[in-house]
A and B are shown apart, each in its own frame.
Chain A
């Protein structure tokens, strides 16, 4: 009512009160806006910081060496700054160390002795990795497998050998080049052959020599060589000849000195079979060669036919009459 009576004053007071109310809400709004701005600022700051940190972590990188030989020390370059943990994982090694980013990381030769793939891993905020291969060093030893240890003479494709080249750390050298194989019996050279290694392997196969005795087999590459011995022994008996005579209890038969077809004396202990056929039937006696000769006593009466064999070789037949 009073306002109505003094509409001007009342309006002014109302207006003042309204202005007061407006300024109060404006202050609240201003505070809210400031809060929003502050929040936006913090948000932007955190985004900027995280972006910066991401960019810093992205700057951490490592560059692995391109060609490494076993046992050689190398270094890996890194970028970025700060500290990080470096891992080297590869054949025979799993190392962990603290490093400073931006510096080169030295890898010792003893950590790179085994050929194969290595992983270099650098971790700070995140992990980055690079891999590289370590190749075998030059050949330092030859693994040489020769078969057999004893071989009959003149046997076709009877002697074989396989050679593999390894470096000083035991890594297989897959491309050692050409390996030379030499076979020598006494002073006679039986074989000299250059064989290019494939997949790290070189091999040969050949016929054995003609004379009994030691056979030297040598594989060589550069100044490296490996030597093996094969004992060549006489082959199957050849041209078996027997002679015999009657005794009061039967027969005594014996061979002439037993040789193979190349003239090598057949080793003692080789079994020779004598077969006697008379009126009562067949009887067989096996006798070992002793001092180069096989000898047997056979109980038989009357006319007898004696034959001899050793392995696949047959000898002559001996006819002994009943009265002789």
Chain B
């Protein structure tokens, strides 16, 4: 669950930064205009611009010049851009699209709430998988995967560390169909027709780059408050 919480934290921080920056820009702009107008009125100068010009011509440096205002606004804009980038960057890395169909699931029907939960948890599982295998971070696998699926992916990470390899799963699209849902609701089997850009790197060198279409058989079981992937097995076809 580390990647998920990490992404959430990043998004929260970015959102907070965006909000604070917007507030700061608005406040500074309003205050600046108000102060300038107030100053112009005090000096009985017909306009703000002429007020500033008259102060400049009289040799008095104005307290708030247009250049200062533009500098402040440009800095705030840069901060806003950085915040927007911070907000967007994690999401672009974690581009995982999952479509799910449960119409053929049986013998037990999958209710809409459950469907949403499984879709959410399966998507999180793939985000975690991609993160773990790109950065060789085994911790990312602990939450969404258990049993065989977790062991296999852990082996992948440790093997990649030894070999100096990493794997990227980019632009993931998953079309998931629930094919079996147990009578007591303790296991669900999914068929996932996934396509993504698979990149394998040796250090920084790209040794394999291919757009692949994969078929996965997935077993998920309920945990305390979410569903976990117990089996993730690629097959030639369904």
**Which residues of B147-195 are within 8 A (CB) of A?**
147-148, 151-153, 155-156, 159-160, 162-165, 167, 179-180, 182-184, 186-187, 189, 191
Is A89 within 8 A of B202, CB to CB?
Answer: no
The answer for the CA separation of A94 and B202 in the assembled complex, in Å, is: 10
The answer for the CA separation of A198 and B217 in the assembled complex, in Å, is: 12
B225 contacts chain A at the CB level, 8 A cutoff: no
B233 contacts chain A at the CB level, 8 A cutoff: yes
The answer for the CA separation of A91 and B202 in the assembled complex, in Å, is: 17
Known: A87-B207, A162-B182, A199-B180. A172 touches B234 (CB 8 A): no
Contact among B187, B208, B236 with A129 in the assembled complex (CB-CB below 8 Å): B208
Chain A residues, Cβ within 8 Å of B231: 172
Name the distance in Å between A86's Cβ and chain B's nearest Cβ: 11
Is B234 within 8 A of A116, CB to CB?
Answer: yes
B235 contacts chain A at the CB level, 8 A cutoff: yes
Is A87 within 8 A of B202, CB to CB?
Answer: yes
Known: A129-B208, A199-B217. A116 touches B180 (CB 8 A): no
Known: A89-B167, A96-B165, A160-B183. A201 touches B152 (CB 8 A): no
Known: A114-B152, A121-B208, A162-B182. A203 touches B107 (CB 8 A): yes
B214 contacts chain A at the CB level, 8 A cutoff: yes
Contact among A85, A92, A115, A201 with B189 in the assembled complex (CB-CB below 8 Å): A201
The answer for the CA separation of A313 and B155 in the assembled complex, in Å, is: 58
Contact among B148, B155, B165 with A89 in the assembled complex (CB-CB below 8 Å): B165
Contact among A94, A198, A203 with B163 in the assembled complex (CB-CB below 8 Å): A94
Contact size range, A: 35 or more
Is B167 within 8 A of A94, CB to CB?
Answer: yes
Known: A87-B202, A92-B159, A127-B208. A171 touches B167 (CB 8 A): no
Is A133 within 8 A of B208, CB to CB?
Answer: no
Contact among B159, B200, B210 with A93 in the assembled complex (CB-CB below 8 Å): B159
Known: A96-B164, A117-B234, A199-B189. A145 touches B202 (CB 8 A): no
B219 contacts chain A at the CB level, 8 A cutoff: yes
Is A92 within 8 A of B214, CB to CB?
Answer: no
Is B164 within 8 A of A133, CB to CB?
Answer: no
B residues apposed to A, CB below 8 Å: 107, 147-148, 151-153, 155-156, 159-160, 162-165, 167, 179-180, 182-184, 186-187, 189, 191, 200, 202, 207-208, 210, 214, 217, 219, 231, 233-236
Chain A residues, Cβ within 8 Å of B164: 96
Chain B residues, Cβ within 8 Å of A199: 179-180, 189, 191, 217
Closest to A91 in B: B152
Using an 8 Å CB-CB cutoff, how does the interface string of A80-111 with B read, 1 for contact, 0 for none?
00000101010111111000000000000000
A residues apposed to B, CB below 8 Å: 85, 87, 89, 91-96, 114-117, 119, 121, 123, 127, 129, 133, 136, 145, 147-148, 160, 162, 164, 170-172, 174, 198-201, 203, 205
The answer for the CA separation of A147 and B184 in the assembled complex, in Å, is: 7
- 12 intermolecular pairs with C-beta atoms under 8 Å apart: A85-B202, A87-B165, A87-B202, A87-B208, A89-B208, A96-B165, A116-B235, A136-B233, A164-B187, A174-B235, A199-B217, A200-B217
Chain B residues, Cβ within 8 Å of A160: 182-184
Name the distance in Å between B170's Cβ and chain A's nearest Cβ: 16
Name the distance in Å between B192's Cβ and chain A's nearest Cβ: 13
Known: A147-B184, A160-B184. A96 touches B234 (CB 8 A): no
Q: What would 9 more interface pairs be, CB under 8 Å, given A94-B160, A96-B163?
A: A87-B163, A89-B165, A91-B234, A92-B151, A92-B155, A115-B235, A145-B184, A160-B184, A171-B148
Name the distance in Å between A219's Cβ and chain B's nearest Cβ: 14
Is A92 within 8 A of B207, CB to CB?
Answer: no
Chain A residues, Cβ within 8 Å of B219: 164, 172
The answer for the CA separation of A164 and B187 in the assembled complex, in Å, is: 11
Chain B residues, Cβ within 8 Å of A145: 182, 184, 186-187
The answer for the CA separation of A145 and B153 in the assembled complex, in Å, is: 25
Closest to B237 in A: A133
Chain A residues, Cβ within 8 Å of B167: 89, 94
Known: A121-B207, A160-B184. A93 touches B217 (CB 8 A): no
Closest to A157 in B: B183
Chain A residues, Cβ within 8 Å of B207: 87, 121, 123, 127
Is A92 within 8 A of B156, CB to CB?
Answer: yes
Closest to A171 in B: B233
Chain B residues, Cβ within 8 Å of A121: 200, 207-208
Closest to A116 in B: B234
Chain A residues, Cβ within 8 Å of B235: 115-116, 133, 174
Name the distance in Å between B158's Cβ and chain A's nearest Cβ: 9
Is B233 within 8 A of A115, CB to CB?
Answer: yes
The answer for the CA separation of A147 and B186 in the assembled complex, in Å, is: 10
